[in-house]
Structure 1
Amino acid sequence: MEQIFLSEIRIEKVRHLQKITIDISNEKPMHLILTGKNGSGKTSVLEAISKYFDYIMTVNDFENVPAGTVVWKDEFDDDCKIVDGINLTFNRSQKELEETLRKGLFIVAYYKDKRTFQAEPPVHVEKIKLKDQYKITENPGRLFIKYLLDLKVTEALARNNGNFEKADRIKTWFTDFEGLLQRIFEDLSLQLIFEEDTFSFFIREKDRELFDFYSLSSGFAAILDIVLDLMLRMEAHLNRTFDFTMPGIVLIDEIETHLHIHMQRSILDLLTTIFPNVQFVITTHSPYILNSVDHCVVYDLEKNIRIENMSGYPAEGIVEGYFESESYSKTLMDKVKRYKVLIDIAQPTEKERIERANLRMELKQISGDLAREAKDAFEDIERSRGGTW
């Protein structure tokens, strides 16, 4: 069957956004990047899309849905449905989409901007039963470490019982997973280590001590939160083949969260390579995301501008032209550094207190559209000081 993909979004009314049509593509699946300043409605649009899929997957009898929540047009000749002010059009019929979703053959997931590694640590070995289908609001990724342990024990038992085909298939799965980690960490020497005495998994990198999945930096934790969750959403259908080619639509809010510039440049390419048939709908402030891959439509919700394929534009050109800024963040970064100096003064003078307060008020208003690095640096300072004087 032809891959199902989102071809158009019509915003009837989502917060202040009204009567906006976002054309993606009728011919082939293309990723959608929503941008615009803070408050432009990016997250609200993702929330509305999420609710749309939630309704499809949880409501069996649409006749019983309260009036005003879901509005059907002619189901035989219109592939549209309005949910909470948003109208989505796909390249296939609504009925095909529903059936594919309910069979678990089409993945939908929504990752909000606060992303951390959330997997539950195993207390003992337990058999993990993965579902054929997960709702968009579920979080199967929390089972990932438990699933790894289940696989490792199953491999040992299968080999002990002479079921070498099953054991070898699981061994190959672990080899492929190690290769995936090598790509994410950009370290071909990386090894996934299993300690039999503690039933624990560790990562070994060159010139580093062993560390576990709970000791990841915020950037790698944010990436693995998405990757491992998507893997488990597909895993029940794959018979441990490590072939994550199932189709789907994945929503990610502020994809650049916790990622330094190098990761911002590579994250979308990484995700689209691991999950080649997933259509990503993301929000971002980062020019390094906007120009990172082909086959993307960029839509600015603030200016109502549609741009297709910004991969040929340099990041500095995007900032200076698209964001209309001559300097990305140098001036603001200087102010952030000055703010850090001031808050580290144990007994500031009255003049220093006033300067610090004024800087704090100004830096709180930084727009991530124009100065993501400065905004992140300021927020890191604020988190470290706990909001105290």
Structure 2
Amino acid sequence: MFLKRITIQNFRGIQEMELNLAQPSGNRKQTLIIGENGTGKTNLLRAVALVMGGSDALAELLNTPDDWISFGAPFCQLSATLLTQAGEERSIQLTINRGDTLKGIVLANQDQLAEIDAALAHATQNYFVVGYGSLRRLNRSTGFSRGGETIFRQARATNVATLFNQEALLNPLNTWAMEVDYRTNGKGLDIIRQSLNDFLPAVKFHSIDKEKGHLIFLYGSTQVPLHLLSDGYQNMIGWLGDLLYRISSAFNDYQSPLKAHGLLLIDEIDLHLHPKWQRKVLDYIRHKLPNLQLIATTHSPLLAQQAQEHELYALKRTSRGKIALEAFRGTPDRLLLHQLLLSPIFDLETDESLAVEELKKQYESLKRRKDPPQGKLHYLATQIEQLPQNQRSNMNYGNDQLDLLREIKSELKARRDS
């Protein structure tokens, strides 16, 4: 299954939007979406999860139906085009009219959701979708505790629980690992090692302490239980452990979970990740989970820099207040970080600090006066001259900034020579 297109109308502030996931070279496996807070990144992921959920999951995920409809609109509509493994297109649609009950919504959309409902009735792993919200909390209890089930009961709803409810919990990594070890008669260590070792920098999986139910990792030469690793490590592998558990459960496959086909949604994928890890997470998913289609959101320019051609999009609010989706023109992973930051997709005018930017604004403001205070002007000019000014050949530096630096240098030289 491949999600080819999603169209959104009147959905929580998104008036009209289409995300096309096909590209000239074929089906796009990874899509990264950036945008300022409030532009609808999370709601875009929720829209995908809702229309792909099937009738049984809708009743749990929708909760209060009118809340999904944009203020003042009479209805919202989500449409998706799917591509099967046989290359056949399938269309599904979900319409919510203001005032509809949950039962009424399911009944009214029976025909539009027939394609996905029929597929799910045939095999529950069809159109497999799993999603993670920005608040990804681990279930800290021991044993075979299950995340999400206390919030939702239907399997497809629990698979995206944290996208819709901040109280939902993730299945901890040890839950999956212990079950793999049990189901494979103790032969699952290689599967666990293969899944984890490339994902955790400086830490390697070592063994399972079956008596205590702990995973043991090697940090250098020291053995450390999973729960004693830093919060950064635990947050990093939180969604991965839950993902592996859900794949194994849905496909009943404890031998090769990394080969599963489906759709992975992650909100703020860079959350809690050190910059070094941010640079590697897309590559990990691309190579370790090659059959999962990824749609993720981020605020991180470091992570956006790892996107390939056609993979990066930005949600922006137009001058009329509407939310628009813009594709990045170019190849992010061929750019230097400052080039990406100063491109239209991030809308930054400079990569300098706010302090430096303010310093230059003060200088320019004083220069425009008829009789500027020379002492203050000289002080600001000296401060600016002392800043690092190694211009890179690929620097996206405006002509006005270069003119300002030349002017300051010229004036300071004239003062020294006089």
**If the length of structure 1 is used for normalisation, what is the TM-score?**
0.64
Which residue of 234, 238, 245 maps to 1:221? 234
Residues 331/70 of structure 1: CA separation in 2 closer, same or farther (3 Å cut):
closer
Matched, 1:317 2:339: yes
Secondary structure of 1:227's match?
A: helix
Residues 256/238 of structure 1: CA separation in 2 closer, same or farther (3 Å cut):
same
Alpha carbons 1:34, 1:282 under 8 Å: kept = yes
Is there any run of 5+ residues in structure 2 with no aligned partner, and where?
Answer: 60-64, 67-73, 81-88, 98-111, 146-152, 162-167, 318-323, 359-418
Residues 150/277 of structure 1: CA separation in 2 closer, same or farther (3 Å cut):
closer
Which residue of 113, 133, 136 maps to 2:134? 113
Which residue of 311, 327, 340 maps to 1:306? 327
Number of the residue aligned with 1:177 = 192
Taking only the aligned residue pairs, the percentage that are identical comes to 18
CA-to-aligned-CA distance 1:156-215 (integer Å, 9 cap, x gap): xxxxxxxxxx63xx42x212312332211234x72423335534332122144x332223
- Pairing 1:88-127 to 2, within 5 Å after superposition: 95-102=114-121, 103=123, 104-118=125-139, 120-122=141-143
Secondary structure of 2:286's match?
A: helix
Number of the residue aligned with 1:142 = 171
Provide the C-alpha distance between the structure 1 equivalents of 2:272 and 2:356, rounded to a whole number of angstroms: 17
Number of the residue aligned with 1:186 = 201
Provide the C-alpha distance between the structure 1 equivalents of 2:57 and 2:334, rounded to a whole number of angstroms: 42
Query: How many positions carry a matched residue from both structures?
Result: 297
Alpha carbons 2:10, 2:75 under 8 Å: kept = no
Which residue of 274, 279, 293 maps to 1:265? 279
Q: Highest Rg: 1 or 2?
A: 2
Alpha carbons 1:101, 1:107 under 8 Å: kept = no
- Report the residue type matching 1:226 in the other structure: W
Residues 83/113 of structure 1: CA separation in 2 closer, same or farther (3 Å cut):
farther
Provide the C-alpha distance between the structure 2 equivalents of 1:116 and 1:133, rounded to a whole number of angstroms: 19
CA-to-aligned-CA distance 1:316-358 (integer Å, 9 cap, x gap): 21101232335447447999xxxxxxxxxxxxxxxxxxxxxxx
Residues 31/198 of structure 1: CA separation in 2 closer, same or farther (3 Å cut):
closer
Provide the C-alpha distance between the structure 2 equivalents of 1:151 and 1:195, rounded to a whole number of angstroms: 14
The structure showing larger relative contact order (alpha-carbon pairs under 8 Å, at least 6 residues apart) is: 1
Structure showing the higher strand proportion among its residues: 2
Aligned-pair Cα RMSD in Å: 3.9
Matched, 1:292 2:313: no
Provide the C-alpha distance between the structure 2 equivalents of 1:327 and 1:319, rounded to a whole number of angstroms: 8
Number of the residue aligned with 2:91 = 79
Is there any run of 5+ residues in structure 1 with no aligned partner, and where?
Answer: 86-92, 125-130, 156-165, 336-389
CA-to-aligned-CA distance 1:245-298 (integer Å, 9 cap, x gap): 222112111111111211111111112222211111111111122221436532
CA-to-aligned-CA distance 1:47-72 (integer Å, 9 cap, x gap): 22222233444369xxxx99957789
Alpha carbons 1:250, 1:281 under 8 Å: kept = yes
Number of the residue aligned with 2:14 = 17
